[in-house]
Chain A
Amino acid sequence: MSTISLEPKTLVAENNQVVNESVNFLNHDHSVSSWLLSLDHKRIGILYLVTITLMFLLGGILAGVVRLELLTPKGDFVASDTYNKSFTAHGIIMLFFFLIPSIPAVLGNFVIPLMIGAKDVAFPRLNLLSYYLYLIGGVIALTALLLGGVDTGWTFYTPFSSTYSNSYVSVMAIGLFVVGFSSILTGLNFIITIHRMRCPGLTWFRLPLFIWALYATSVVQLLGTPVIAVTLGLMVVERTLGVGIFDPRLGGDPVLFQHLFWFYSHPAVYIMILPSLGVISEVIATFSRKNLFGYKIMAFSSVSIAVFGFIVWAHHMFTTGMSPYAAMVFSLLTFSVAIPSGIKVFSWLATMYNGSISYETPMIYAFGFLGLFTVGGLTGLFLATLGTDIHLHDTYFVVAHFHYIMVGGAIMGYMAGIHYWWPKITGKLYSQFWGRLSAGIIFIGFNLTFFPQFFLGYLGMPRRYHEYPDEFQVLNVFSTAGSSILAIGYIMPLFYFGHSFFFGEKADDNVYGATTIDWTSTTSPPSPHNFEKTPVVTEEPYHFRLKESAVVSH
């Protein structure tokens, strides 16, 4: 690790005046290798930020292809195989290369050590390795797409994927195998960091809820991801060797694949949403200037969502011919996840009650999150209920449900987090007007895109159809129109954040008056080693109190 000088840099401006600029993690070394080989968790977080933004754009373009095709009932935009490859690629990229890393790898990496008073994560070299595993996995996956794509759907159901598909399934599976290890190592790193690197006085029940959320997420990443690695491995073995693990003609069981696959992939969706729940807790507390209602219950609810998430996987398989008794058990267990989620929503509302609420962009995203996450979670109940799931399974209702949770929930949480910590990361302010405007556009575009899909699903329109009966066209047109608005909303931040990075006003160390030590005890941007002196925590979090100098709100 190169030594870093903490001496203030001396700059000479054009008029020969000497300007002192304090050293922070962004400016202390500008060389390419100091970025690409950095062991600094903050820089690694930025590397992830850049890469996943590119992945998001790619996934978004693929979504555009899908929605454009669905404007008309006939398959007249792209060929059938192209469409099938497009929705497959959209799913794989958005889930594995955007959503799963998003908050943990970007915000988690950046914020966790700052929030617990540590100088870095427990294993900085492992952290860098995680990033490169992600990058290599991404390159392999993109190679699979460029070679010709995969047409199995992101779920890779057998025997189609193991025996019948002529696309580049094995290459893609290898890419996912590699990126899975990135996820496992990140989770491992965070768990040890949170266990062992908290500063003095920071007991478990003084941890900010963002840390609890990431802890629960990391446990799921650690335990669930190896199973999908082995499952994809077995599928590739079947493809290459022609053995019958999942092929019934050779004595195998196609439904076994589904069990193994969903054993990971259901907890995976909790990897995607739990961090967002943590971000929203931070945002609502800070912008209501009030302690989070029911702190301990909130912490436990994150952990219980993670635990329950492991025992409900077969609710994706109610129509496979499984035993009705097993179906009833899984249905009941699935309802159990709804309770902690509901408690969280009510607790956030209770936090806002009697608070002092300001309308910065992160809070606007949090408002949107409350509504959209509620809809997403409640529509899950339709699918947990056996009597209705039979009708709704594999229809657009399911598509609408999971987009409400993953986009309306997880991505809104991610956006809230980026907007919240941007001044801390860059030391610059961004335009609140444009931030709030794009949040509003995203909210409107999102609802217009996905709300009609609930009706489409109830009418019976199956998933993964690129041609459909005429009666479904009206709702599909609304949906596509909404997606164009959504796209605009997502592109806008590129502009105002770009402007902020180069020309933005300088941000104070604690712009919003938060109470967590990432805001109170570090500069914006933080210095390379985070803290001048190790902080000591003496109180529960979210303890707002009046300060001598009023905090400047922005």
Chain B
Amino acid sequence: MSATNELVKDAGHAHHHKDLAHHFDTLEQQHDANLLGMWAFLLTEVLFFGGLFAAYTIYRYKYSAVFEEASNHLDIKLGALNTVILILSSLTMALAVRCSQTGNGLWTGNWLVLTMVFGFAFLGVKSMEWGHDYKVRLMPGKDFFWWQYAKAAKDMHTHGGGHELPDMKNVKSDTNPELGVKGRQESEQARLFYLLYFCMTSLHALHMIVGFGIITIITYYAYKGAYSPDYYSPVENIGLYWHFVDIVWIFLFPLLYLLGAHLVH
């Protein structure tokens, strides 16, 4: 063996903390590695969403008027409600992490369950919004319908007309070439807005659903008393993940919902 390397530490398996994985030397090393790993992963998520944000930014600038008009047709109240729900869920998550650090398995589990309750509430509100969008044909598929809807909504606001939008069941979609050209470009631009809206919020929702799966498993272990001041990395890491999901929403909400002069209407 080379003279440069003195063999000092014994890497035997004799005295082994039950939570220490065999390839780590100390609990501290394990904790640091897990934490750094989660931060690195979140960095990749920033770039993952970043691609969508970049595409959104470019088209937001290019088609500003239509994007603002389209944004007006998202329900700002539900969006704001969801923002509050998600922030509350981050609070309960932070409390869960704190409890795991003090070894309080019962309340770690309880706060985690509450976090999921808020999370489900968020998804519930989101589903309501999407259901409504589907009904008024704002889903960016073949059936997308913008121009006459927007015009009708505008008429409704300016003429103080009734609260019912005209019956659109029998009106053909915007992509139908028979409908005519006026506003077709606006329709495509609005469709792009809704596509980006659905892509970004779906990706966000998918991250939440994956989060639920992981939180469930961690909740189970929390109730079993698996976490202690020596070993609480899984809770800390899922906490980081959840806060990240929250922060993404904090960016999505103003970018998607708060464009344009909402308050003027």
Asked if A532 is at the interface (CB within 8 A of a chain B CB), the reply is yes
Asked if B44 is at the interface (CB within 8 A of a chain A CB), the reply is yes
Docked Cα-Cα span, A196 to B140, in Å, equals 47
Q: How far is the CB of B255 from chain A (nearest CB, A)?
A: 16
User: B44 contacts which of A222, A245, A256, A536 (Cβ < 8 Å)?
Assistant: A222
Asked if B195 is at the interface (CB within 8 A of a chain A CB), the reply is yes
Could you say which residues of chain B place their CB within 8 Å of the CB of A18? Answer: none
User: A533 contacts which of B8, B33, B45, B52 (Cβ < 8 Å)?
Assistant: B8
A191-226 vs B, Cβ < 8 Å mask (1 yes, 0 no): 111011100100000000000000000000011111
Number of chain B residues close to chain A: CB under 8 A: 46
Which among B3, B10, B55, B140 has the highest number of chain A CB atoms within 10 Å?
Answer: B55
Docked Cα-Cα span, A515 to B1, in Å, equals 10
Q: How far is the CB of B196 from chain A (nearest CB, A)?
A: 8
B20-48 vs A, Cβ < 8 Å mask (1 yes, 0 no): 00111100010011001100110111011
Q: What is the count of residue pairs linking A and B with beta-carbon distances less than 8 angstroms?
A: 145
Do residues B195 and A241 form an inter-chain contact, with CB atoms below 8 A? Answer: yes
**Given A227-B47, A241-B141, A521-B2: A195 in contact with B36 (beta carbons within 8 A):** yes
Do residues B4 and A538 form an inter-chain contact, with CB atoms below 8 A? Answer: yes
User: B8 contacts which of A222, A245, A256, A536 (Cβ < 8 Å)?
Assistant: A536
Asked if A440 is at the interface (CB within 8 A of a chain B CB), the reply is no
Asked if B129 is at the interface (CB within 8 A of a chain A CB), the reply is no
Q: How far is the CB of A312 from chain B (nearest CB, A)?
A: 17
Residue of B nearest to A224 (CB): B47
Asked if A342 is at the interface (CB within 8 A of a chain B CB), the reply is no
Docked Cα-Cα span, A537 to B10, in Å, equals 15
Asked if A251 is at the interface (CB within 8 A of a chain B CB), the reply is yes
Asked if A508 is at the interface (CB within 8 A of a chain B CB), the reply is no
Docked Cα-Cα span, A118 to B7, in Å, equals 13
**Given A251-B189, A256-B55: A230 in contact with B7 (beta carbons within 8 A):** no
**Given A197-B29, A223-B44, A253-B58: A515 in contact with B2 (beta carbons within 8 A):** yes
Known: A191-B36, A222-B44. 9 other contacts (CB 8 A): A122-B23, A188-B41, A196-B32, A227-B51, A230-B49, A245-B192, A520-B2, A529-B11, A534-B7
A-B contact pairs, 19 of them (CB 8 A): A119-B23, A192-B36, A196-B29, A196-B32, A196-B36, A222-B40, A230-B49, A230-B50, A241-B140, A243-B195, A244-B188, A245-B192, A529-B11, A533-B11, A534-B9, A535-B5, A535-B7, A537-B5, A545-B3
Partner-B contacts on A (CB < 8 A): 1, 118-124, 184, 188-189, 191-193, 195-197, 200, 222-227, 229-231, 234, 237, 241-245, 250-253, 256, 260, 510, 515, 517, 520-521, 529, 531-539, 543, 545, 547
